[in-house]
Amino acid sequence: AQSVTQLGSHVSVSEGALVLLRCNYSSSVPPYLFWYVQYPNQGLQLLLKYTTGATLVKGINGFEAEFKKSETSFHLTKPSAHMSDAAEYFCAVSGSAGNGNNRLAFGKGNQVVVIP
């Protein structure tokens, strides 16, 4: 079984400051890891994903995340926050291909507020 932990339901960041959202995962098999963003009244959109290969992955809108197996972490960062980054962010994990696990397990999410 897989699970993720996201701490701090609400995160406030000043415009232009670093955005850092923490995600720690638990998985009995090699994980696939994802970050999704949800804007009001819209469906979840994929920001980025890690499956295999390079541990630093870049996504849309200037976000990136680094897979650290030793720390079981997949933290999301963006160097400079924009007002348009205000949204809810979810980390998710699934089993890797061939491990028969097709479901995504989501964290509770972080509501990001950008302060002008």
Partner 1 sequence: DTGVSQNPRHKITKRGQNVTFRCDPISEHNRLYWYRQTLGQGPEFLTYFQNEAQLEKSRLLSDRFSAERPKGSFSTLEIQRTEQGDSAMYLCASRLSTNEKLFFGSGTQLSVL
* Contacting residues toward partner 1, per CB under 8 A: 6, 9, 32, 34, 36, 41-46, 49, 51, 90, 92, 94, 97, 102-109
In terms of C-beta density within 10 A (0-12 exposed, 13-18 middle, 19 or more buried), how is residue 77 classed? middle
Query: What are the backbone angles phi and psi of residue 49, rounded to the nearest 5°?
Result: -150, 150
DSSP assigned state of 60: G
Minimum CB distance to partner 1, residue 47 (Å): 11
Minimum CB distance to partner 1, residue 15 (Å): 26
Cβ proximity to partner 1: between 85 and 94 the closer is 94
Cβ proximity to partner 1: between 68 and 103 the closer is 103
Rounded distance between C-alpha atoms, residue 116 and residue 72, angstroms: 33
Rounded distance between C-alpha atoms, residue 93 and residue 102, angstroms: 10
CA atoms within 13 A on the CB side of 57: 21
Minimum CB distance to partner 1, residue 80 (Å): 26
Minimum CB distance to partner 1, residue 53 (Å): 13
Cβ proximity to partner 1: between 17 and 44 the closer is 44
